[in-house]
Structure 1
Amino acid sequence: MADTTVSARKLKTIKAIDKVGLIISIVTIICALIWAFPLYWAVVTSVKPENQVVEPGLALWPRTFTLEAYSAVIFNTKIGLWYFNSIAVALITTVIVVVMSACCGYAISQLNFPGRKVLWFVIIASFMVPIQALIVNHYILAAQWKLINTWAGIIMPSLIAPMATMIYKQFFDGVPKEFREAAIMDNTNEFRMLFRIYLPMNWGVTTALAIITFIGAWNSFLWPFLATTREEAMTVAVGITQVNDAFGIAYARELAAAVLTGLPVALVYLIFQRRVTQAIMLSAGVKG
């Protein structure tokens, strides 16, 4: 009798959990649809003729499918040059940030030098200063050093990446000290120790940070927008703002440019989704 009562209670609990799970799933699907609708709308609008875009009413599917907007953006703007600038800037930023953060994280984690604690405190305290608060200073320095409309001018402020340094330090702290002691006995210098022992143990972390840094550099808009005034120097995120100037109010072409801008990042995320999620979890873990 007691076993029957316990089984009945377990069955009720399982049914209650199933109902809660069903409700959560439905709410999640609704939220996902709400989030995805603007993306869907942008893609659908970009393949409509311009006269259908400005028609009153809500058309969820184009009556006429056309790639005219994409053709206009590709052949009548400098989007190819903007893509090249974005790829170059994002790759250079990623390489420098990863190498610099790894070296800094290794030094703070494994080396004893004067000012080590002060440097670590400055890195932690940098989270208290939003990057937007430094925009004016960055612009004044870039103008004085004649870096406006140059890759260097776009890249340099993006190299401030305390989070990457903190993540590297956290993982280097977890490397067994026996590896370092054995390397010291073999007269291995610090650079070889970093690049041949410590980094190979953390390739997953490095890959995740590189991907998330690349995506961040590609999507960066505010500083590249201020640091470039010539179309030839613009990244694709900034360059698409010129589509409006070139064509007037042409919603299909503007959205086509926006889709082309976000496409590489979407592909990177789809291909390296697990690594991107890992980087986000690492960042959240350090902040926590």
Structure 2
Amino acid sequence: MTTLEQNPAAGSPATTGAGRDHGLAYWAVSDCWNITRRTLTHYQRHPSAIVWQLGFPILSVLLYGYIFGSAMKVPGGGDYREFLMPGMFAMTMAMGFMNTAVAVVTDAGKGVVDRFRSMPMAPSAFASGRGAADLVVAAAELTILAVTALLIGWRAGGGVMAALGAFGLLLLLRFSLIWVGVWLGLLVPTPEAAGGLYAVAFPLTMISSTFVAPSLMPGWLGTVAAWNPISSTATATRELFGNPVAGGGTWVEEHALLMAVVWPVAITLVFLPLAVRRFRLLGR
């Protein structure tokens, strides 16, 4: 009995003799691309999934920007809608990890994940392929949301390169949280259970500087909000976009650009290996 027959999930063609002409890296990239293409094809055939994901942030922009916006004050002055939009960008990128979790657990429930495990594919391909596809979708979501923001009067006054840097930080946040979504999707048993995680994710995204400055919150809550990774990305992008920042003077707010990189890197270093390890351990 061959190694692959003993453990169908253990090897890719590079490890079973079929890929002797290519290295492990080649097959890892090739398998990753196949998973990415499969996921993007699903979105292409069901574009309503992206529309649904964008529904909440666009509704929130209209609700907070037009209905509540006149009553909101930005510490230090400035237009509230310009303060709001970078926070909404960050919140949308952060909430995307729940869509990843639901999609992964749905695939697992339908037996798709088990089918992948039975194939001679690189163990990292499922997580990396899912991550690459979700990052492409996130870029599309961010583009649509930015166009919506421009239509309601938001402007980025920090220059083109600064704006590109801000969008890069937003995608970096989404990239890091994708691995949280993959790990949770492989961990929870059913799509219903994954949907229940919104009850936890929603407060975590709300207790941030998305809608109001942490300095306006009660002391302990403001501290939690200031140290929220979403707040670091929101504050950093406000600086780069040239929008009102309204920082509270804490260390983490004064070093928002640094923390907007440190937080995603730390999250990736923790949850990417966990997601790959969880995929390898399924069914054992």
Task: Please indicate, yes or no, whether the TM-score normalized by the shorter chain is above 0.5.
Answer: no
| TM score, norm. by length of structure 2 | 0.33
Q: More helix per residue: 1 or 2?
A: 1
Larger gyration radius, structure 1 or structure 2: 1
| TM score, norm. by length of structure 1 | 0.32
Larger relative CO (CA 8 A, sep 6+): 1 or 2? 1
